[in-house]
Amino acid sequence: MRSTLTSRRLSLVIAGLVVFVDQLTKRWALAALNGGQVVVIPGLLAFELNTNTGAAFGFLRGGGTLLGIAAIVAVAVILHMTTETVRPLEHVALGLILGGAIGNLIDRIVRGDGFLDGAVVDWIQLPNFPTFNVADSAITVGAFLLILGALRRP
């Protein structure tokens, strides 16, 4: 029991760190990138402020309420999953996904006029790829780790 509690705590600490860094960097992007692009590594990495009322790649544009509800359900499911697993890799992955989901959900709650219809702040730009944020990155890395863990499971 104690081991499961300690492992779950790992998920929650990672989620909290992701939310903190995500919201901090979004605040910075809103203040520093208004109306311009900052090229960090020419041809590879730039910072450019964008907002997204849909999902990744512009899918479901304007579907913030539906996506917000889906995020709330995902958060509840992930929180439950953290009580069911004991493998550290899975707890790291779930913490990353949980933090990313909460980070983007915060945007949907506080950056709109209606119920969960706020736009998510995106600011990291790679060539030939839509802008994204720390929360999106955490979700992607967490999903990759879950898949890796499933492939390595005996």
Query: What are the residue boundaries of the structural domains of the chain, listed by start?
Result: 2-152
Confidence of residue 85 (pLDDT cuts 50, 70, 90): confident
How far apart are alpha carbons 113 and 9 in whole angstroms?
34
Tally of helices (H runs) and strands (E runs) in the chain = 4, 3
Mean pLDDT of the chain: 89
Q: Which residues are catalytic?
A: 122, 136
Are the beta carbons of 53 and 62 closer than 8 angstroms? yes
pLDDT in tens, 29-47: 999 998 788 999 999 999 9
Statement: residue 27 has pLDDT above 90: yes
Are the beta carbons of 130 and 57 closer than 8 angstroms? yes
